[in-house]
Each structure stands twice: as structure tokens, then as C-alpha cells.
């Protein structure tokens, strides 16, 4: 009998015998650090990194301020002086990221995930684009118990965030794929566990992401966009087949995407961990530490050059003392093999009609093992409720060998389903409303959290994603052979968390000032390649108002369906039509009605607040000056576009040089436009512009992004400093990307100036500095 | 019994014709105007999730959701922390906050006439499996507190308190049933701020 007089039971006591000792100790230590932080005995910056390494992230508004559509208001959190990081209130809700190596889950784990989502979060589990699970609106005080409950089912949140090895991802079809060289599951999991808490991965300047793929041609592993990418390969030596990996390094999306470079054509399985360890050590030793914007390994590989990077790694490899953990798991690798239930769970045919047939056509994958299929559950925007997750755990037990996998497309995959069980499985999924068709199709839109919960979000990626899902599904485009395989991915900012760069149609959030009002926009990215492990990145085609994005998508799809030739893919169609022609099509959707005409354009999707009420009331006097600046930035956008066009068709040295020159000119032009806010007579001499920009906007920090700080200004400074150095295609592409981001930052800076209402006639710089309003960007 | 985390849910009466999008506008306005007591934080849109929590108003103390999960569409309030030294006080406080929310929502001009919540019955959900598990013991432990609180909420009415026969892994759920009562009437009984 339960009663209130009993000593209070705790999860720590209840799970003490179940949680592995080392995990229990780590969680206890974190709880101790929390207490020390409460007592002010741990620095807030140090605590923030500790917290992040436990996967406990900050969330939007955790600085204690929120714009309510009319003004920015303080949120009166209790204990407001207590922080969990710089400018991060302890009591503010946060996000918990939970690492799921290779996306592998079993029913027991799904049950616990459902329980903690219910008790500590808002009953929603969000699958991320790196196979993690995220919970939102979490109180930091709840995290130790939450971690204990996860640890009890062999899930750790350790190093889910922070500057360490993040979740190790893998193709969710591993082991059942028709095209893989071999099953990478065990290799991914052993790599994840080898590096978890390893001493050599504790001193990185930034995060380090690892991905495994079973083949080169499919996108599932996305190895080209990872810090370390591994593609399964076999070779025959002296008549014996060897397993190994094609190893890539230095890939990454983020603001400036880099395709990974081939480090080694064949790394034997026995060398996977030692060589990876050597790479980690070289990254930790030589990677950038002070400037986090240059700290990913992609920058180190670019800086050193691949040959020198490889030499250093191989040299380091020779110095490593043998570690039995490098290989002692290989003899047990077969233990990762999954199996189906011995017999179908039900098997009797059921008449389910057209909806079942359609679902089969989009959500079912025939395994290489005859008679078995894998089924993708298309989760809307990656979300599933706790109740659905608990029922899904039961379904997983009933129909599979108790395994499921999360996917990088924010879905869940059930594998090893007896084909005869498909009707019964469909019925079971229908009972919990997880039977949506269109998995991995055009209606299965991917979106990062964006302005819903992310501190960096500029525009509502999920709001737009939800809108597009509904509209496209209403048109049944998931069954249209011509367009069904087009992927749409939406990020709330330039940081590519939705992986928009590798989608056929991608968007990232931005904003524009229209007659003194801020209007949510999305940059359009077209021509990325999802296949071949994300082998090509898309390019920007300019920004369109958020509310017009559905029109843009409709128009592009209509054009493609009407004009495509010989079955060409969307990416090929975009390339054939050419950037100028496609941009002209998109430019038809850039206009915004006046505020009085239709103010819905001035709010974001699924958000009733005006996007920026702070811009209302900018004086007419300011308007003229601002228009000049806007005009200058628009010219810069044109130059950046010309730079893209320069290397669209040919990539000879002349074209490359031309593109690089135009990209630099675009940045200089945007800088000049900003300078005109104060000095309308600014020189046209680039040297003077760069110098004056540095004095007026960099040294004063007026140009600083609230989170990226001076990162974008350095793009200009570096490009100008190295303007006479020889250019490669890679450099030109990077300069073009950087120019695009510099221009975005110029828009944002211009808007901050206007938000502070400090455009002429007063001197904005003196006034702005005196009022210290550099962070007016909400 | 002594638990902090629990929920109550008042179901909507049949005939709701509202587009959920209107809740987004209303809740943002409530945050701006500090319409409800507590620390109002944000609005979460889960309309895309089938059988999900719909539109939520997140506060520091309570998550309010116009929820579509098991049991049907209704107003779900998830208590995270709050006042009250006894369990009965805590339950009454959450019911008061929820009824305040519901009555204000029904009266909002954008909602009025299109949404009616049944005040005469509600579900109580334990949201702490450790302190109050979904067992017969758990039911026996919380039932007296809930019966005593129900007597305050529904003065002079016959009230039943029954355990919902659900999956043992789901939350312990009790159904408190009086007659048919409007939200405004319940609001009056519990001293809601409307």
C-alpha cells in the first residue's frame, strides 16, 4: 500500500542495481556539478560545457526574454540570478538530446523513452536528422533522474552535445540492404562505444560527427557530409575476402558546406578504430580552438591540405600503443546480426483496400532476404507521441525480433517483417495513426526545430514544413512517379540542421526589411543530391517571403513536370535550365504586399505574432538612407549570383578566377552598402571599404551576429587578404557560400540598426554604442 | 499521497467546430497580456501530429494542451510544479487553473459558441510512475484525495471516482464523474479567476 508517510523513493535507489556502474557514477557526478553550480562553485561557462556533454541543451527564450509580437518582455523565471550557462537561466526549459547509436532501438528502450517524454517533457519525441531523439521543455533539475532511467535500458546521453564525438549514425537498412557490401551495424556501434568518453576526444575545438554507409550509391549514410565518413567495401587478398571501409574526412554542412575528401580507399576493419583514433588526436592537437567558427575538422583538412593531413595521421598512427579494444569485438561482430520472428505473427490475408496498396507502394522496402520487408513509419516532422511510441514498442515486439531504427529522415524503420504480416502490421499501425503513406517522398518533409524551440532559429521551419506536408499530400504527390522522390528539407537558419543543402529543394530561414517591417523569408536552395551519400550540394537562388514558399514549390514542380526531358531528375533539370532561368522563375515570387494590404506576410507560419513589431515606426528620414543600403545589398546579391553562374557550365581556371573575384566583390559591395548608413560618400576603393568596414562595423561589433559573433566579417577580411592567391574550384565555391552568408549578415545588421531606430538623422554608431543595443535582433 | 506531477483533462462536448489554428492566436495574446496567472512562456504547435497534443500553451508551472490523445479531444493540463502542501490542495489548484483556462477560452470571442468543455467530469492522470504507479495500490493511495477534492469541485453532487482500465504501462488514470456541469459553474465552485 502506498502512502505519504513512507520515505520518498528515488529513481537513483530504485535503479541502483540495474544501471551499469560507470554510467551511474557519471550521472552522480553530473548531479554533483549541478549542485555546485547552484552554490556558485562552478563557473557558468564550465558548467555549460558539462551540461552539453550530458546532452542537456538550451532552448529558445532561455535568456529570460521573449518578443510577444509587440515588444520584448522579461520572463519572470524564479531564481533569475541562477544560470546554467552564459545568459541562460537555470529555470528556463531546455532540450534533452538522447544519443541512439546507428538509430538502434528495442521495445524496452522505446517504453522508457515514452515514459520520460510523458513525465518530463510534453509527450512528444522528436527524431532528429542524425538519428537522435530530442525532448523539449525539460527542466534541468529533472535531467539526472531522466538519465538514470535511460541508462537502465542502456541508453546514454553522454556527449550527445558538446565538443566531442556525437552520435555515430549508420544506414538504417544495414544488414538488410540489397546493395550493401556488408552490415555496418556492429562497426558503427563499436565505434560509438570506443570513443564514448575516450580521452582522445575530450579536447576538440568543435563537434565531430561519424557516419557509416553500407554502399556508395544510396543516400542513407550521408557519408559525404560528415567529419568522418565510412563506406563498407570488401576486397580479396590471396583468395580471402577482407572487410574494410572507404574512409572520408572533412565533410560537413553548417554555414559553409564541405564535401568530405577521400582519405583512404580501403581501411581494413582491424584498422578502423586505430586510424580513427589517430585522426581524432591530430584534430585535437592541430584543430582550431579559439575561433569556434573555424574549428571543425573540415577547416583543418583545408588548411593543411589532404596530403599533409594524411601524413600527420599516419605518423600518429605509428606512435599509438596497441589497444586490445581496437579489435577484440571483431570476432563477435556476427552477434549484431538481426533475425526475424521464426514464423509470421499473423499471416492471414486481410482485405484492406487502396490505402493499404498505396502505403505499400511508398513505405515498404523489400529486403535482400527473400520473404522479408522493412517498413518505414513516416513521422510528421519527425514527431511521435509518447502513447504512440509505447504502442509501437508492442508492435515492434509482435512483428520483429524486437528491433527498430530511427532514420536521418526523421522516421522509424521496422525491419525483418514477414511479408505475410504486412496487412496485420498495417492494421496495427492504423490503430495508432502511424500508417501515413509517402515515407521518404516529397510529402515527407524534413525540418529542424527552427524558431519553435531553437535559439538560433530565424524563421519557422516547422511551421512551413507542416504547411508544405499538408498541401503536397492533399495533391497526392507521394504517388506521382515524376516528383515523389524529390526531397524537401527546411532549416530555420543557415546552419543546415535539416540538411537542406543536400535536398533537391531546400530552404533556410532569413528575414528581410520591407518598408520598415521585418518579413520572414526563406533562402531557396536547389540542386542538391540526396543520392550517392549526398554527393552534391545545392546552391542558393535568392530569398522569397515565407508565405510565398508554397507557391514557389508548386511552380517549380509544375515547371519540372512540364519541361523535363527523357526522365531527367530534378537536379538535372535545374542544371539544364541554368541558374539564370531558374532564378528568374523564383524571382516572380519575391514581392510582398504592403502591410495594410495583407499583414499575414508579416507573421510566420503557425505564429500569430508579427515577425518584427520593433521595426514599426522607422522614420521616413531613415527610410531613404536605409533604401540606399538595401539597394547596395541587393547589388551584392546580384554579384554573388553571377559568381555562381560563372562556374555553372565550365570550371576552367578562368571561370574559377572569375567566380572567386565576383564573390569577393559581392562581399565588398555589401560592406560598402552598410557603410553608406553613415557615410554616403564612401570610397569605391575595396581597400578603403574593407578598412572602413572593419573600423565601423567589426571593431564596434555592430556587425556581430548574436551567436556567430564576428564570423561573417572574417569571410570578407580573409577573402580580401588572400585575393591575389591562386584559386581552386573548392576555394571559389567556398567564397561563394561565404559571400552569401556575408550578405545575409549584412541584411541582419541593417535590420538591427533599424530596430534600434538609430538610422540618421542621429549618428547611429555613437548612439548605438552608448545604448549598447547590439543584441537587438529578436 | 504526495506527488507533484500529475495531469487533469476535461473533454470537449460533441459539436466542436473550431479550426485549431485559432488557439495559436488566442494563446499568444494571453502571453502578451498576462491573461493567466503563472509564468507564461510559449505556444507549441503540434497540429501535424495525429492523436497528439494539438496546440499547447507552455507555462513554467503547467503545460495546457488542446489535446487529441486517448480519451478524445479536450483540455489537458500537465502540472510540473506549483503550490499546495497537501495532495488535495495540489489537485484543487490544478483543477482551478484548468477551469480558469477553459472558461476563459470558451468565452473568448474567437472561440465562443464553437467549443464547449464538459465540466462535470475529468480525468486525473498520475505523471509520476515512481511515486504513483498504475497499480491497484496506486489507485487506492490517491482515491481518497481525489474523492475529497471532487466534493469541493462538485458540491452537493453525487460523484464517482473510478480507475480507467488501461495498459499497465500507461499512466494511472482515474475518471471523476459528476453530472453535466458547465465550466463556468465549476469555476464558481473552485474560485477560479474568471
DSSP states along A321-368: PP-GGGTTTGGGGGGG-----SS-SS-------HHHHHHHHHHEEE-S
Mean pLDDT within A610-639: 54
pLDDT value of position A217? 79
pLDDT for residue A26 is more than 70: yes
Shortest alpha-carbon distance between residue A152 and chain B (Å): 14
What residue of B is the nearest CA neighbor of A110? B169
pLDDT value of position A216? 82
pLDDT value of position A771? 43
CB contact under 8 A, B129 and A462: no
pLDDT value of position A776? 34
* Burial group, residue A457, by CB count within 10 angstroms (0-12, 13-18, 19+): buried
pLDDT value of position A628? 62
pLDDT over 90 percentage in chain A = 72
The class that CATH gives domain A617-778 is mainly alpha
Of B78, B131, B167, the CB nearest to A9: B131
CB contact under 8 A, B45 and A462: yes
Neighbour tally for B34: CB within 10 Å = 13
Asked if A403 and A105 touch (Cβ cutoff 8 Å), the reply is yes
**More confident position, A34 or A290:** A34
CA B156 from chain centre, in angstroms, equals 22
pLDDT for residue A166 is more than 90: yes
pLDDT value of position A751? 81
Confidence band for A774, pLDDT divided at 50, 70 and 90 = very low
Domain A177-334 is of which CATH architecture? 2-Layer Sandwich (3.30)
Of B28, B39, B44, the CB nearest to A69: B28
CA A300 from chain centre, in angstroms, equals 21
Chain B residues with CB-CB distance to A124 below 8 A: 46, 49, 52-53
For an interface test with B, give the residue of A606, A610, A611, A778 to mutate (most B CBs within 10 A): A606
What residue of B is the nearest CA neighbor of A136? B44
pLDDT for residue B119 is more than 60: yes
**More confident position, A282 or A295:** A282
What's the CATH number for A354-431?
3.30.70.3340
Q: What are phi and psi of B3, to 5 degrees?
A: -125, 150
Average pLDDT of chain B is 95
Q: What are phi and psi of A761, to 5 degrees?
A: -85, -15
Helix, coil or strand: residue A152: coil
CB contact under 8 A, B141 and A3: yes
pLDDT value of position A2? 61
Confidence band for A651, pLDDT divided at 50, 70 and 90 = confident
Shortest alpha-carbon distance between residue A429 and chain B (Å): 12
CB contact under 8 A, A608 and B28: yes
pLDDT value of position A410? 96
CB proximity A606 to B under 8 Å = yes
What's the CATH number for A441-616?
3.30.413.10
Mean pLDDT within A479-489: 93
* Burial group, residue A234, by CB count within 10 angstroms (0-12, 13-18, 19+): exposed
Confidence band for A615, pLDDT divided at 50, 70 and 90 = very low
CB proximity A207 to B under 8 Å = no
Q: What is the rounded CA–CA span in Å between residue B84 and residue B177?
A: 24
Report A:453-472 residues touching B (Cβ under 8 A).
462-463, 465-466, 469-470
Encode pLDDT of A49-80 as tens digits: 889 989 999 999 999 999 998 888 999 999 99
pLDDT for residue A498 is more than 70: yes
Confidence band for A159, pLDDT divided at 50, 70 and 90 = very high
Angle at CA of residue A167, ends A162 and A170, nearest 5°: 155
Encode pLDDT of B134-166 as tens digits: 999 999 999 999 999 999 999 999 999 999 999
Encode pLDDT of A313-330 as tens digits: 999 999 999 999 999 999
pLDDT value of position A416? 97
CB contact under 8 A, B130 and A60: no
Q: Which fold has domain A14-151?
A: Sulfite Reductase Hemoprotein; domain 2 (3.90.480)
Mean pLDDT within A230-257: 92
Mean pLDDT within A387-405: 97
Average pLDDT of chain A is 89
Confidence band for B132, pLDDT divided at 50, 70 and 90 = very high
What is the full DSSP assignment across B62-103?
EEEEEE-STT-SEEEEEE-S---SSHHHHHHHHHHHHHHHHH
Confidence band for A650, pLDDT divided at 50, 70 and 90 = confident
Of B24, B137, B170, the CB nearest to A606: B24
Tell me, yes or no, if the two domains A177-334 and A441-616 fold the same way.
yes
Of A719, A776, A712, give the one whose Cα is nearest residue A743. A712
Q: What is the rounded CA–CA span in Å between residue A496 and residue A601?
A: 24
CB contact under 8 A, B2 and A4: yes
pLDDT for residue A769 is more than 80: no
Q: What are phi and psi of A402, to 5 degrees?
A: 70, 45
Q: Where are the domains of chain B?
A: 6-189
Identify whether A202 is preceded by a cis peptide bond (ω within 30 of 0).
no
Amino acid at each position: 500500500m502506498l502512502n505519504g508517510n513512507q520515505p520518498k523513493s528515488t529513481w537513483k535507489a530504485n535503479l541502483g542495481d540495474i544501471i551499469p556502474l560507470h554510467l551511474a557514477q557519471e550521472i552522480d557526478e553530473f548531479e554533483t556539478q549541478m549542485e555546485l553550480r547552484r552554490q556558485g562553485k562552478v563557473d557558468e561557462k564550465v558548467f555549460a560545457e558539462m551540461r552539453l556533454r550530458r546532452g542537456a541543451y538550451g532552448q529558445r527564450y532561455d535568456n529570460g526574454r521573449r518578443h510577444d509580437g509587440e515588444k520584448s518582455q522579461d520572463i519572470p523565471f524564479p531564481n533569475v540570478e541562477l544560470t546554467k550557462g552564459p545568459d541562460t537561466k537555470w529555470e528556463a526549459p531546455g532540450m534533452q538530446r538522447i544519443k541512439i547509436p546507428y538509430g538502434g532501438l528495442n521495445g524496452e528502450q522505446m517504453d522508457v523513452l515514452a515514459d520520460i517524454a510523458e513525465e518530463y517533457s510534453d509527450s512528444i519525441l522528436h527524431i532528429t536528422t542524425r538519428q537522435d531523439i530530442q525532448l523539449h521543455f525539460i527542466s534541468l533539475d529533472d535531467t539526472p533522474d531522466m538519465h538514470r532511467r535511460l541508462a537502465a535500458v542502456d541508453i546514454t546521453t553522454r556527449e550527445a552535445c558538446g565538443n566531442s564525438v556525437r552520435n555515430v549514425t549508420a544506414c538504417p537498412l544495414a544488414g538488410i540492404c540489397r546493395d550493401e557490401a556488408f552490415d555496418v551495424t556492429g562497426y558503427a556501434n563499436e565505434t560509438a562505444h570506443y570513443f564514448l568518453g575516450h580521452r582522445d576526444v575530450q579536447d576538440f575545438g568543435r563537434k565531430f560527427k561519424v557516419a557509416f554507409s553500407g554502399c556508395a550509391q544510396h543516400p542513407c549514410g550521408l557519408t559525404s557530409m560528415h567529419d568522418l565518413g565510412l563506406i563498407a567495401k570488401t576486397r580479396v587478398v590471396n583468395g580471402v575476402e577482407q572487410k574494410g571501409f572507404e574512409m572520408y574526412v572533412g565533410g560537413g554542412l553548417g554555414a559553409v558546406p564541405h564535401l568530405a575528401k577521400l582519405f583512404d580507399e580501403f581501411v581494413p576493419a582491424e584498422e578502423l578504430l586505430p586510424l580513427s583514433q589517430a585522426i581524432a588526436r591530430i584534430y585535437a592537437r592541430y584543430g582550431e580552438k579559439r575561433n569556434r567558427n573555424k574549428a571543425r575538422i573540415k577547416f583543418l583538412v583545408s588548411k593543411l591540405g589532404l596530403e599533409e593531413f594524411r601524413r600527420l595521421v599516419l605518423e600518429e598512427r605509428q606512435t599509438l600503443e596497441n589497444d586490445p579494444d581496437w579489435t577484440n569485438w571483431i570476432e563477435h561482430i556476427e552477434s549484431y546480426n538481426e533475425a526475424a520472428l521464426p514464423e509470421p505473427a499473423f499471416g492471414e490475408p486481410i482485405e484492406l483496400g487502396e490505402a493499404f496498396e498505396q502505403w505499400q507502394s511508398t513505405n515498404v522496402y523489400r529486403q535482400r532476404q527473400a520473404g522479408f520487408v522493412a517498413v518505414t513509419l513516416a513521422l510528421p516532422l519527425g514527431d511521435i507521441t509518447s502513447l504512440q511510441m509505447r504502442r509501437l514498442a508492442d508492435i515492434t515486439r509482435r512483428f520483429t525480433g524486437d528491433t527498430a531504427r530511427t532514420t536521418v529522415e526523421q522516421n522509424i524503420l521496422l525491419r525483418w517483417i514477414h511479408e505475410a504480416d504486412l496487412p496485420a502490421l498495417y492494421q496495427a499501425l492504423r490503430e495508432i495513426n502511424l500508417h501515413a503513406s509517402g515515407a521518404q517522398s516529397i510529402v515527407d518533409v524534413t525540418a529542424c526545430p527552427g524558431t519553435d524551440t531553437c535559439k538560433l532559429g530565424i524563421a519557422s521551419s516547422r511551421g512551413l514544413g507542416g504547411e508544405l506536408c499538408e498541401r503536397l499530400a492533399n495533391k497526392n504527390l507521394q504517388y506521382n512517379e515524376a516528383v515523389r522522390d524529390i526531397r524537401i528539407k527546411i532549416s530555420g537558419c543557415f546552419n543546415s540542421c535539416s540538411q537542406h543543402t543536400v535536398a533537391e529543394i531546400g530552404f533556410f530561414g532569413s528575414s528581410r526589411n520591407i518598408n520598415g517591417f521585418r518579413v520572414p523569408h526563406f533562402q531557396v536552395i536547389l540542386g542538391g543530391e540526396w543520392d550517392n551519400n549526398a554527393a552534391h550540394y545545392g546552391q542558393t537562388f535568392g530569398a522569397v517571403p515565407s508565405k510565398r514558399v508554397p507557391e514557389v514549390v508548386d511552380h517549380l514542380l509544375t515547371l519540372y513536370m512540364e519541361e523535363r526531358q527523357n526522365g531527367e531528375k530534378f537536379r538535372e533539370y535545374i542544371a539544364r535550365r541554368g541558374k539564370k532561368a531558374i532564378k528568374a522563375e523564383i524571382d516572380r515570387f519575391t514581392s510582398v504586399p504592403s502591410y495594410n494590404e495583407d499583414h499575414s506576410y508579416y507573421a510566420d507560419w503557425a505564429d500569430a505574432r508579427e515577425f518584427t513589431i520593433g521595426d514599426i515606426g522607422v522614420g521616413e528620414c531613415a527610410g531613404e538612407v536605409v533604401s540606399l543600403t538595401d539597394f547596395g545589398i541587393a547589388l551584392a546579391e546580384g554579384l554573388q549570383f553571377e559568381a555562381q553562374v560563372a562556374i555553372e557550365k565550365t570550371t576552367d581556371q578562368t571561370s574559377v578566377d572569375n567566380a572567386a573575384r565576383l564573390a569577393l566583390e559581392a562581399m565588398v559591395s555589401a560592406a560598402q552598402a552598410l557603410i553608406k548608413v553613415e557615410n554616403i560618400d564612401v570610397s569605391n576603393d575595396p581597400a578603403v571599404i574593407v578598412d572602413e568596414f572593419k573600423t565601423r562595423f567589426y571593431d564596434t561589433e555592430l556587425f556581430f551576429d548574436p551567436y556567430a559573433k564576428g564570423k561573417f566579417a572574417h569571410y570578407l577580411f580573409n577573402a580580401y587578404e588572400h585575393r591575389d592567391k591562386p584559386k581552386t574550384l573548392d576555394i571559389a565555391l567556398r567564397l561563394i557560400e561565404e559571400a552569401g552568408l556575408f550578405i545575409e549578415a549584412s541584411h541582419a545588421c541593417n535590420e538591427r540598426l533599424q530596430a534600434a531606430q538609430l538610422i540618421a538623422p542621429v549618428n547611429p554608431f555613437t548612439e548605438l554604442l552608448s545604448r549598447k543595443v547590439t543584441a537587438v535582433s529578436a | 499521497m504526495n506527488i507533484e506531477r500529475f495531469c487533469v483533462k476535461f473533454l470537449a462536448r460533441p459539436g466542436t467546430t473550431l479550426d485549431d489554428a485559432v488557439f495559436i492566436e488566442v494563446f499568444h495574446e494571453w502571453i502578451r497580456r498576462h491573461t493567466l496567472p503563472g509564468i507564461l512562456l510559449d505556444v507549441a504547435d503540434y497540429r501535424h501530429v495525429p492523436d497528439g497534443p494539438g496546440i499547447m500553451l507552455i507555462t513554467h508551472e503547467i503545460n495546457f494542451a488542446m489535446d487529441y490523445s486517448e480519451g478524445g479531444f479536450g483540455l489537458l493540463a500537465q502540472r510540473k510544479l506549483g503550490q499546495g502542501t497537501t495532495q488535495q490542495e495540489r489537485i484543487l489548484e490544478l483543477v482551478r487553473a484548468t477551469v480558469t483556462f477553459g472558461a476563459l477560452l470558451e468565452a473568448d470571442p474567437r472561440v465562443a459558441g464553437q467549443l464547449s468543455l464538459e465540466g462535470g467530469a475529468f480525468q486525473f492522470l498520475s505523471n509520476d510512475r515512481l511515486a504513483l504507479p498504475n497499480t491497484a495500490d496506486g489507485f487506492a493511495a490517491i482515491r481518497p484525495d481525489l474523492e475529497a477534492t471532487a466534493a469541493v469541485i462538485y458540491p452537493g453532487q453525487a460523484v464517482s471516482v473510478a480507475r480507467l482500465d488501461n495498459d499497465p504501462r500507461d499512466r494511472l488514470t482515474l475518471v471523476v464523474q459528476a453530472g453535466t456541469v458547465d465550466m463556468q459553474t465549476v469555476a464558481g465552485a473552485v474560485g477560479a479567476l474568471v
